[in-house]
């Protein structure tokens, strides 16, 4: 297929988002470098809304561009999750940037949109080169965002660590890709998946080397153990909205990439890597939850919580379930994860910016200062812990059932045990909000309307999925996820 014959309309959402990101960057340049520019945040959210509408209109039918860029149910659902997540991050950012006038607002929003574009390319990639282009667009934008507070030592340190370790991870991914290309003579993921089973009989060592190198690089991107050490420092040093972005949107985009690679490219040798992935999932759940118990900084606590959540997301991929069932489970938990985690970060941003510190003690007496935010935070934490009538509970139930059905009973037991451990640090924050008196200089919190609306939406969806999970899972189970 030549470039002239390709159906470029499939890339309409990505092309429009690119144009809108450049437009916002240009408007920022024309209106001066610094200063409060809340209208740019609103324009960014409108841009994401337009893109989401285009995704629904153009990606609801499977298709591809020269077997390089592919559109299917998997791409459509993950793009919508990413777009909603970034819209929430921008809503959080608008409050944060008003409190931190030294941050260049237009560049900040533009970088978030460019990172979103990279994430969307990643989940639609059917070629190793396209995949890497999307990955690097997301990564480079994330590096810049992590160090956005240039005069803050922690932010600078976070950016430097992220750039160096992220570059090493990208090198591992490229090296692993080079083995695949050398063996198959193609960079197409579909062609690689078709040929890899037969080639494995002749070149098992080289193919396993390729898989391991790529697993190291992808493991860094989704912060699973033992490739997680960068996450707590980078999350703590980054601006809080960037921490939210890295913890949720960036991680889910990278996880989408992992799913397509392992299910399609390496699917024919599932028996060779499934147990290894199960070991990583177990270690991630155990280490993430146990180290979170010792954290006093709320952003570091959420970093280790995010590491543990990555372990839960990996569990279905390591089981013998069919790809469509695996994807239904992961998509449900992905939606729940976006709502409960970004909702929690919205409250964290409000509280820590008001207190001027990121210690857990800043939540002291939150119920007396802002009852709605305290109740909302309770819902998010209870959902993250996996307690009933929340989205997180049913997300973990589906993962647990999938692990048992897929022959990984020992992994399901570890999942339950580590979830119980998580109760202690999540309920530690709840205890601070209800059972402690406010700190001496704490004032009544008056959240802006945009943040209140965003938290309300997140709480509503979290509870709705907890009361009516079957409506979503029934819809997902009707999908044939991959092209």
Q: Are 71 and 483 in contact (CB under 8 A)?
A: yes
In the chain, % helix, strand, coil (3-state, to 5) comes to: 80, 0, 20
Residue 393 lies in a domain: yes
**What is the extent of the structural domain holding 453?**
266-483
Cβ neighbors of 182 (< 8 A, separation 6 or more) are 206
Q: Using 50, 70 and 90 to split pLDDT, how confident is the model at 46?
A: very high
Higher per-residue confidence, 249 vs 482: 249
447 inside domain: yes
| Average pLDDT estimate for 338-344 | 94
| Contact partners, residue 71, CB within 8 Å, separation at least 6 | 10, 58, 59, 61, 62, 63, 64, 124, 483
Single out the residue of 172, 211, 218 nearest to residue 192, CA to CA.
211
Residue 32: predicted pLDDT = 67
- Find the mean pLDDT for residues 24-37: 75
**What is the rounded distance in angstroms from the CA atom of residue 401 to the CA atom of residue 408?**
10
- What is the domain count for the chain? 1
Is a pLDDT exceeding 70 seen at residue 169?
yes
What pLDDT was estimated at residue 444? Answer: 82
| pLDDT tens, residue by residue, 384-439 | 998 988 999 999 999 999 999 888 899 999 999 999 999 999 999 999 999 888 87
pLDDT digits (tens, 9 = 90+) for 76-125: 999 999 999 999 999 998 888 877 666 667 788 899 999 999 999 999 98
Residue 337: inside a domain, yes or no?
A: yes
Reduced to 3 states (helix: H, G, I; strand: E, B; else coil), residue 303 is: helix
| Residue 36 reports pLDDT greater than 70 | no
386 in any annotated domain: yes
- Please give the residue that has the higher pLDDT: either 365 or 441: 365
Is the model's pLDDT at 155 over the cut of 90?
Answer: no
- Give pLDDT, residue 148: 82
| 57 pLDDT more than 80 | yes
pLDDT, tens digit, for every residue of 172-209? Answer: 999 999 999 999 988 889 899 888 888 988 999 999 99
Specify the pLDDT at position 268.
87
pLDDT digits (tens, 9 = 90+) for 450-470: 899 999 999 999 999 999 998
Number of neighbouring beta carbons within 10 Å of residue 233: 17
Q: What is the mean pLDDT of residues 144-172?
A: 87
- Whether 363 maps to a domain, the answer reads yes
The CA-based angle 451-25-112, given to 5 degrees, is: 45
Residue 3's pLDDT is 52
Instruction: Tell me whether residue 285 is in a domain.
Output: yes
Between 355 and 115, the higher pLDDT residue: 115
Q: Is residue 162 part of a domain?
A: no
Report the pLDDT value the prediction gives residue 33, as an integer from 0 to 100.
61
Q: Which helix (H) or strand (E) holds 28?
A: helix 12-30
Q: Is 395 within the bounds of a domain?
A: yes
The confidence score (pLDDT) of residue 215 equals: 93
Burial of 185-218, coded b for 16+ CB within 10 Å and e otherwise, reads: ebbbbbbbbebbeebbeeeeeebbebbebbbbbb
Q: Quick check: 286 pLDDT over 60?
A: yes
pLDDT at res. 101: 63
Name the average pLDDT for the chain.
Answer: 88
Residue 323 has pLDDT above 90, yes or no: no
């Amino acid at each position: 297929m030549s470039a002239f014959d390709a159906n470029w309309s499939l890339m309409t959402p990505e092309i429009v988002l690119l144009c809108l990101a450049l437009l916002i960057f240009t408007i920022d340049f024309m209106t001066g470098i610094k200063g409060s520019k809340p209208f740019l945040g609103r324009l960014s959210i409108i841009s994401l809304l337009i893109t989401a509408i285009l995704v629904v209109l153009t990606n609801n039918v499977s298709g591809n561009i020269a077997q390089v860029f592919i559109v299917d149910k998997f791409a459509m659902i993950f793009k919508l999750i990413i777009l909603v997540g970034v819209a929430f991050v921008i809503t959080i950012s608008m409050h944060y940037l008003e409190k931190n006038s030294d941050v260049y607002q237009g560049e900040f929003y533009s970088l978030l949109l460019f990172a979103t574009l990279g994430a969307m390319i990643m989940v639609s990639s059917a070629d190793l080169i396209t995949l890497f282009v999307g990955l690097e667009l997301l990564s480079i934008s994330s590096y810049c965002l992590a160090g956005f507070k240039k005069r803050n030592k922690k932010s600078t340190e976070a950016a430097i660590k992220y750039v160096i370790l992220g570059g090493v991870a990208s090198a591992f991914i490229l090296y692993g890709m080079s083995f695949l290309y050398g063996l198959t003579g193609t960079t197409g993921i579909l062609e690689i998946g078709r040929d890899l089973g037969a080639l494995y009989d002749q070149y098992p060592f080289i193919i396993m080397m390729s898989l391991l190198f790529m697993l190291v690089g992808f493991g860094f991107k989704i912060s699973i153990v033992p490739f997680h050490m960068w996450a707590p420092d980078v999350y703590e040093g980054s601006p809080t909205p960037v921490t939210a972005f890295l913890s949720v949107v960036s991680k889910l985009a990278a996880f989408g990439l992992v799913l397509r690679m392992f299910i399609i490219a390496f699917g024919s040798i599932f028996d060779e890597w499934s147990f290894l992935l199960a070991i990583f999932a177990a270690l991630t759940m155990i280490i993430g939850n146990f180290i979170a118990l010792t954290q006093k900084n709320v952003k570091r606590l959420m970093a280790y919580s995010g590491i543990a959540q990555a372990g839960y997301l990996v569990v279905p991929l390591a089981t013998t379930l069919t790809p469509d069932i695996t994807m239904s489970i992961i998509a449900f938990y992905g939606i729940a994860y976006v709502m409960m985690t970004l909702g929690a970060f919205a409250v964290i941003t409000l509280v820590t910016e008001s207190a001027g510190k990121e210690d857990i003690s800043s939540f002291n007496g939150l119920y007396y200062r802002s009852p709605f935010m305290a109740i909302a935070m309770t819902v998010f934490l209870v959902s993250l812990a996996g307690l009933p009538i929340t989205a997180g509970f049913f997300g973990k139930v589906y993962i647990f059932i999938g692990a048992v059905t897929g022959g990984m009973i020992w992994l399901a037991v570890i999942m339950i045990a580590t979830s119980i451990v998580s109760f202690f640090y999540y309920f530690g924050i709840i205890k601070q909000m209800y059972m402690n008196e406010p700190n001496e200089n704490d004032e009544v919190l008056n959240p802006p309307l945009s943040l209140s609306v965003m938290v309300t939406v997140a709480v509503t969806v979290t509870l709705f999925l907890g009361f009516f999970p079957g409506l979503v899972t029934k819809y997902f189970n009707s999908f044939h996820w991959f092209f």
